[in-house]
Amino acid sequence: MILCANPSAQFAPYQAEIEDAVLSVIRGKSFILGKEVEALEKDFSSYIGTSNSVGVANGTDAIELALRALDIGSGDEVITVSHTAVATVAAIEASGAQAVLVDVDALTYTLNPLQLSEAYSQKTKAVIVVHLYGHSADLDAILEFCNVHKLFLIEDVSQAHGAKYKGARLGSIGHIGCFSCYPTKNLGAIGDAGLITTNNPNLAKKLCMLREYGWNNRLSEYAGRNSRLDELQAAILRIKLKHLDRDNKKRLDIAKFYLQELANIPLQLPKINLNVDHVFHLFVVQSDVRSLIIEYLKKNSIQAGIHYPVPIHLQPYYKDNIKTVSDMQITENVANNILSLPIYPQLENHKTEKIVRTIKKFFELS
C-alpha cells in the first residue's frame, strides 16, 4: 500500500542522527525543558526569523497558550475558518473564548478576508489565520483588517513549516505563530510536540510561564498549566529541522510532477499564489467523483485522504454551538469534493508514477 503520509519513512533517512541524539538525552540528567529544548527554541526562532520561540506539548496547546498570553478568554471572540483541523477551534474554546467561523478562498482553501467584516464584533480580539496544506493565506488583506480594528493576528502554521509569504517565513508575520509538530507534519516529532514564535520578548516570557503553571522562580504569577516539551522530542526536532528545507524541496518536486502529469485530467489541481513559497504538506485536488477515485486508488493499493470531510460548523457538537458568517458555501462544497494524494519527502519516483498512471487509467475507464 502506498500511504498518503508515512512518518516512519521520514525517520529512516536520519535514523543514526536521531538515535544518537535520543541516546544522549537518555544518558543525560535532564528530560523536561532542558538544554535540548533551549537549543531547539534558539534554532527554530533563527530559522523562522523571530526573536523568540517557545516549546510546548503540542500544536493545540500552542494556540491556547498564545490566546491566553494575549489575555484573550471568556467573553471574547476569535475569528478563524471552518475548513481546518478541529484542533484550531478546540484551542479557542480551551482559552475560554468563542470561535466565529468564516469561509475560505476557493483556490487556496485559506481564510477569505472579504468575510472578516461580517464576522467582526465589539467582542472580537483576534484572527487565527490557518496556512492550510502548506500554502499561505492572503496576509496583506488580513493584516490590514487586523490593523484597522486593532486585533491580534495569530498564525496557525501547523501545516506550513518553512513556507514563505513575500519572502518572510510564516510564523514571523503575525503577533504570534503556532506550530504543531505531530509526526505527519513537515517538521514532525516522534510523538506530540509544538512550538510558538513571536518577536515580542514579553510575550515569550509570559508563554514560558504559562506552559509551566504560571511559574516565575516556581511561584505562580498566572493561572498556568502543564504544557512542557520534553527533551527527547526537542532533540529529534533539532535533527529534522536541519533537513527541513531539503525535505520541503522534495515535496515541491513531487507536487510539480503531479501538476505536470495531471494537467489534462478533469481534476481541480492546487494553485500557488505569486507571493507564496508553498511547502505542500498535502497535495489536495478536487473532483465531483471523489468517492469513486478513492475506491479505485484503494483497489490499486494507493491510499488517498480527505482533509477535511466535514466542516467544523457541520459537526455534531458544533452544529448548534458555534457562530458563522451567513455564507459558508465554498467550505461546504470543498468538503464534498477534496482528496489528498500521497506526498512526503521519501515517496519514491516509481510510486508517484504509479499514482499518476492509476488516476489517468481511472478517467480513461470512466
Query: What are the residues whose beta carbons fall under 8 Å from the beta carbon of 356, sequence distance 6 or more?
Result: 257, 258, 261, 262
Last residue of a domain, one of 197, 225, 242: 242
User: What is the C-alpha separation between 209 and 219, in angstroms, rounded?
Assistant: 10
Last residue of a domain, one of 180, 209, 242: 242
How many residues in the chain?
366
User: What is the C-alpha separation between 211 and 255, in angstroms, rounded?
Assistant: 37
- How many distinct structural domains can be found in the chain? 2
Last residue of a domain, one of 242, 277, 296: 242
List the Cα angle 301/340/261 in 5-degree steps: 80
Question: Do 262 and 196 share a structural domain?
Answer: no
Query: What are the residues whose beta carbons fall under 8 Å from the beta carbon of 331, sequence distance 6 or more?
Result: 81, 82, 83, 103, 104, 311, 313
Question: Do 163 and 44 share a structural domain?
Answer: yes
Question: Do 185 and 154 share a structural domain?
Answer: yes
The domain that holds 23 is classified in CATH as 3.40.640.10
User: What is the C-alpha separation between 240 and 336, in angstroms, rounded?
Assistant: 35
The domain that holds 290 is classified in CATH as 3.90.1150.10
Question: Do 163 and 311 share a structural domain?
Answer: no
User: What is the C-alpha separation between 113 and 119, in angstroms, rounded?
Assistant: 10
- Inside any domain, residue 1: no
Question: Do 310 and 182 share a structural domain?
Answer: no
What are the pLDDT tens digits along the chain (366 aa)? 999 999 999 888 999 999 999 999 999 989 999 999 999 999 999 999 999 999 999 999 999 999 999 999 999 999 999 999 999 999 999 999 999 999 999 999 999 999 999 999 999 999 999 999 999 999 999 999 999 999 999 999 999 999 999 999 999 999 999 999 999 999 999 999 999 999 999 999 999 999 999 999 999 999 999 999 999 999 999 999 999 999 999 999 999 999 999 999 999 999 999 999 999 999 999 999 999 999 999 999 999 999 999 999 999 999 999 999 999 999 999 999 999 999 999 999 999 999 999 999 999 987
Question: Do 115 and 201 share a structural domain?
Answer: yes
What does the radius of gyration of the chain's CA atoms come to, in whole angstroms? 20
User: What is the C-alpha separation between 92 and 61, in angstroms, rounded?
Assistant: 10
Among 164, 116, 118, 163, residue whose Cα is nearest residue 142? 116
pTM of the predicted structure, to 2 decimals = 0.97
DSSP string, 255-322: HHHHHHHTTTSSSB-----TTEE---SSEEEE-TTHHHHHHHHHHTTB--B-S-SS-GGGSTTTTTT-
